[in-house]
Structure 1
Amino acid sequence: MSRFLPLTIHFANGRTMVVSSIADAKIALGRTWKSKDTPAYLKAARLVEDATNGICRPAIAFAAFKKAAAQQGLLEHAGPSAALSMLDGLSSLSGKGSPK
């Protein structure tokens, strides 16, 4: 099981990749981005490398990666999960037919 919730990244060349770990993020950073010169990208690359070397918390590096991907419009916007949709459905039923 992965450490982070999976992110789907759509690279500038049209390819996609699911990223759910620091190792995945490191691979994704090597792929085709719109710009590898932006401050967010450079910070993410540094923090992912630091996390790989054990000198940065993985959660911080993954958050920086997610921010860099979002800023470049590479991050797929996911809808609510199936579990959340089921929970919403159950909670809307709980108010119906109950005694007052």
Structure 2
Amino acid sequence: MGKHLPLKITFLDGHSMLVSSLCDAEKALAGEWRSKEADVYKNAERLIAAAKEGVCKPEVAFDAFKKAARQQRLLHPTKRSSALRMLDNLAAPLFKQDLP
């Protein structure tokens, strides 16, 4: 599994894949997108290549990929798991501040 939380992408041809690493994102860019000429797609492609060369932070490249997939309506919305909901509920009192 990759470093990032997995994203479910469904391409125009109906195929889907989970993307959780830059290698996965690079493979996903080869799939059928709405527009490979769109600036957001080209930016993701450029940043992923730069991250693989070590001149861009992987998180920045992955976020650019996620943005491209969202804008081209390929990204499935994700629900928080029950474990994350429980953790959020446990941590909420730690971040609650008493206001005057």
TM-score normalised according to structure 1 size: 0.83
Give the Å deviation of 1:55.
Answer: 1.0
Correspondence for 1:81 = 81
Correspondence for 2:48 = 48
Q: Flag structure 1 segments of 5+ consecutive residues without an equivalent.
A: 92-100
Q: More deviation in 78-87 or 52-61? A: 78-87
Deviation digits for residues 30-87 of structure 1, max 9, x if unmatched?
Answer: 1111110111000000000111111111000000000000000000001121212445
User: CA RMSD for the aligned pairs?
Assistant: 1.7
How many residues are paired up? 91
Q: Flag structure 2 segments of 5+ consecutive residues without an equivalent.
A: 92-100
Q: What percent identity do the matched residue pairs reach?
A: 49
When Rg is computed on C-alpha atoms for both structures, the one with the higher figure is 1
SS of the aligned residue for 1:9 comes to strand
Deviation beyond 6 Å, 4+ runs, structure 1: 88-91
Q: Distance in 2 between matches of 1:85 and 1:43?
A: 33
TM-score normalised according to structure 2 size: 0.83
